[in-house]
Amino acid sequence: MESTPSPLSPATEEPAYRVFLDSLDYLNPEEIERIELAYAYSAEKHGNQKRASGEAYITHPLSVAGAVVEWRMDADAIVAALLHDVLEDTGTTKQELSDKFGREVAELVDGLSKLDKMEFASYQEAQAENFRKMLMAMARDLRVVLIKLADRQHNLQTLSAMRPDQRLRIAAETLDIYAPIALRLGLNKLYRELQDNSFRQIHPLRAEILARAMKAARGNRNELLSKILDGIRGKLSSAGLRADVFGREKSLYSIYRKMKEKCLSFSQVLDIYGFRVVVDNLPACYIALGALHGLFKPVPGKFKDYIAIPKANGYQSLHTTLIGPYGTPVEVQIRTEEMHHVAQDGVAAHWLYKDDEEHGADLQIRTHKWLQSLLEMQSHDSSEFFENVKIDLFPDEVYVFTPKGKIMAQPRGTTVVDFAYAVHTDVGNHCSAARINNELAPLRSELRNGDMVEIITSPHASPNPIWLTYVKTGRARSKIRHFLRTVQHEESARLGERLLRQELLTLGVVPISIPTEAWDQLVKAGGQKSIEELYTDIGLGKRLPSVVARRLLAREEMSADSPSNMTLAIHGTEGMAIQLARCCQPIPGDPIIGSIKKGSGLVIHTHDCQTIRKSRSSEPQKWIDVEWEPEDGKLFDIRIKVEVKNTRGVLAQVAAAIAEAGSNIEHVAMDADPERLFTLLRFTIQVAHRKHLADVMRGMRHIPEVSRIVRERGGEI
């Protein structure tokens, strides 16, 4: 269709725009008319705005729309690409866009627009929140991310006019976030381009030297490559296969990364070139593989079948490495034409190749599930969410099996705990052990390709903060943090309620006698949303119970620092809201005292702990009298030092005595004296109370080789 350009902007006369219009031949006349209208509207709104390079701003949305057209996307996506900056840069409202171009286009453009940076304390926080917004829009409509990637691609190509610090920031962000997203969506061609362009911005000199080395190597190895190519074509032809065979060169960044990770020089990187074989159908892939293994010997362990087990982004191919002429390793990928489309353009292949509707739809469903899994990592902290998503953008994967034979793709380095959370949040929260290939394994065990993993759960098990030190996936990290944060708040609320009740009783007031209006006024004055939130703040040490009690009773004339004279009873099993100090490790039976520590709740020490001596004398108002309330079944860690004569088998005797007294050994270390007459054994053991500890120590004293036993106190570590 030959349409009349809108009179809204002289930019419609630009040659680039005419070329762009010629590429819209797959759309109907009405759709092309809408796109022309969108271009004219965008040109008018951006008006005299210029890019950093001095070009008219309209050249940028036109280039982004051109990339979207290459993927043969629909008219709404192209219109949104042309308008993607108008909300952010021109003062146009979302409602205006909706009225003029439809609600769907307005939603796409809104998903691509950044939030107001003035709302945030730092650039990093603003970026994290912008990224969260984009992901949420992506989950609703996949076209958002495709337009965003095209936008980033053009920005990278035109970075030269920007300040060096801006170039580095944008390039680093692309390597960290946008290139992995492109890979995760199967956009391999775009992925390599984003990586190479970012690499050239971050390390321009290295990129230039490497490019020259590649060019030289291309000439030096031309004869060898031609020989391999002819050999592959001849072998496939003799096997009766019709195939397209072509060489491919590794990207600059992938070669640089391999050199850096494996500490290789350029001359040591032998697999710079690979070969791609595209055949007619799936059976032909395996016939071609057999033929090539007959031509050149395969390298053991270097064969991967991504057809039987596709990558999570839908990628399918057979990969094999062969030993070619003169011992040169040759990488070969074998795939069908359909697989090749998906390998190059991933989810965009759905728009590119309409004859592949079924596979494209399946690919989009899988991608949508992945985006939903990212949104499940939502947290109150945008930066934490950003960090979790970055962790989850792993390019390498391992494939493991459930006991029922289901295949699950996991990031390389994933642990049993990561796998448990991948199965279900409840499985992760209650996992207590695991079997890998029918053998019991620790929760921190890393999974390998082909492992069969069975998670053992227990209703009493719960996430341990230590898990955060070794889990690999953002999903697991997010779920563990959420659980710990929720549990801590619940426990802190219970503790805060007890502390405030105790303070009120100290002041001679029964809490139930205080009218509801007084509680409501207190909550409102403190800026909390509910009484539970007030209790949580007290339990976490953010507010002092003595001050809250006096405000509640409107008795400010009393000293807010006057200490309470009642004793708080604890079990020691309350969880995260009450912590037993590591310096003195109190156990039931020890005289104890507590202090509210901001963010940690109530921290319990022994009365004679050396660590707190100064604070108790200088700040007595911070300390609360605490006593043990009996509870069966709980064991507490305690440290003891045992001096023994250096004789054979003495450690076994001491360990047996500890076990006979009903205690567990958590840790043991040894220090021998220079003359090797005595050895100092340092144990961390578990006991129920002070009497239990006395029984353990009595049992060890019966051993003739034991000369001294001491319980380690604060300050002796």
Using CA atoms, how far apart are residues 528 and 524, in angstroms rounded to an integer? 6
pLDDT above 60 (res 358): no
pLDDT above 80 (res 31): yes
Among residues 31, 44, 74, 89, the one annotated as catalytic is: 89
Q: What is the phi-psi region of residue 626: left when phi exceeds 0, alpha when psi lies from -120 to 50, beta otherwise?
A: beta
∠ CA(603), CA(608), CA(613), 5° rounding? 75
354 vs 596, residue with greater confidence: 596
The class level of CATH for 10-206 reads mainly alpha
Chain-wide mean pLDDT for the chain?
77
Q: What is the CATH number of domain 636-711?
A: 3.30.70.260
pLDDT of residue 25: 84
CATH T-level fold of 207-352: Beta Polymerase; domain 2 (3.30.460)
pLDDT above 70 (res 673): no
Rg (CA), the chain: 34
pLDDT above 80 (res 86): yes
pTM exceeds 0.75 for this model? no
pLDDT of residue 7: 42
Which pLDDT band, with edges at 50, 70 and 90, does 381 fall under?
Answer: low
Using CA atoms, how far apart are residues 396 and 389, in angstroms rounded to an integer? 15
Q: What is the pLDDT of residues 552-577, one digit of tens each?
A: 775 433 333 444 445 566 655 555 45
Q: What is the pLDDT of residues 619-628, one digit of tens each?
A: 776 777 777 7
155 vs 635, residue with greater confidence: 155
Q: What is the phi-psi region of residue 545: left when phi exceeds 0, alpha when psi lies from -120 to 50, beta otherwise?
A: alpha
pLDDT above 80 (res 113): no
3-state secondary structure of 234: helix
89 is catalytic: yes
pLDDT above 70 (res 132): no
pLDDT of residue 392: 52
65-94: average pLDDT: 86
pLDDT above 60 (res 354): no
Distance of CA 582 to the CA centre of its chain: 31
Which pLDDT band, with edges at 50, 70 and 90, does 89 fall under?
Answer: confident
Q: What is the pLDDT of residues 309-334, one digit of tens each?
A: 887 667 889 999 888 877 777 889 99
347-358: average pLDDT: 50
Burial class (CB in 10 A: 0-12, 13-18, 19+), 378: middle
pLDDT of residue 561: 41
Using CA atoms, how far apart are residues 523 and 659, in angstroms rounded to an integer? 52
Nearest Cα to 383, choosing from 624, 121, 626? 121
The packing angle between helices 123-140 and 103-112, to 10°, is 150
Among residues 88, 125, 173, 574, the one annotated as catalytic is: 88
pLDDT of residue 542: 66
646-672: average pLDDT: 85
pLDDT of residue 365: 62
pLDDT of residue 120: 44
Using CA atoms, how far apart are residues 589 and 583, in angstroms rounded to an integer? 17
Distance of CA 689 to the CA centre of its chain: 42
pLDDT of residue 4: 42
Using CA atoms, how far apart are residues 629 and 6, in angstroms rounded to an integer? 83
Contact 72, 24 (CB under 8 A): no
Determine which of 34-43, 571-580, 689-698 has the lowest per-residue pLDDT on average: 571-580
Domain boundaries, the chain: 10-206, 207-352, 509-628, 636-711
Residues contacting residue 134 through CB under 8 Å, at least 6 positions apart: 111, 112, 144, 145, 148
Q: What is the pLDDT of residues 578-589, one digit of tens each?
A: 678 878 888 888
pLDDT of residue 350: 53
Using CA atoms, how far apart are residues 300 and 30, in angstroms rounded to an integer? 57
pLDDT of residue 117: 41
378 vs 530, residue with greater confidence: 530
pLDDT above 80 (res 357): no
Residue type at position 174: T
289-300: average pLDDT: 89
Using CA atoms, how far apart are residues 675 and 385, in angstroms rounded to an integer? 57
Which of 421-425, 490-494, 558-562 tops mean pLDDT?
421-425
pLDDT above 70 (res 379): no
Q: How far is CA 628 from CA 540, 568, 571, 594, 604, in A?
A: 21, 9, 6, 12, 11
Which pLDDT band, with edges at 50, 70 and 90, does 279 fall under?
Answer: very high
∠ CA(439), CA(441), CA(443), 5° rounding? 150
pLDDT of residue 288: 92
Using CA atoms, how far apart are residues 300 and 304, in angstroms rounded to an integer? 11
560 vs 222, residue with greater confidence: 222
Determine which of 90-94, 301-305, 427-431, 564-568 has the lowest per-residue pLDDT on average: 564-568
88 is catalytic: yes
pLDDT of residue 284: 92
The number of residues making up the chain comes to: 717
387-400: average pLDDT: 60
Q: What is the phi-psi region of residue 102: left when phi exceeds 0, alpha when psi lies from -120 to 50, beta otherwise?
A: left
pLDDT of residue 557: 39
Which pLDDT band, with edges at 50, 70 and 90, does 526 fall under?
Answer: low
pLDDT above 70 (res 187): yes
pLDDT of residue 138: 62
Using CA atoms, how far apart are residues 74 and 352, in angstroms rounded to an integer? 10
Residue 676: Cβ within 10 Å count: 8
Residues contacting residue 430 through CB under 8 Å, at least 6 positions apart: 457, 458, 459, 461, 462
Q: What is the pLDDT of residues 193-219, one digit of tens each?
A: 998 999 998 888 988 988 888 877 766
pLDDT of residue 169: 85
Name the one residue in this structure whose structure tokens are 């000369």. 707
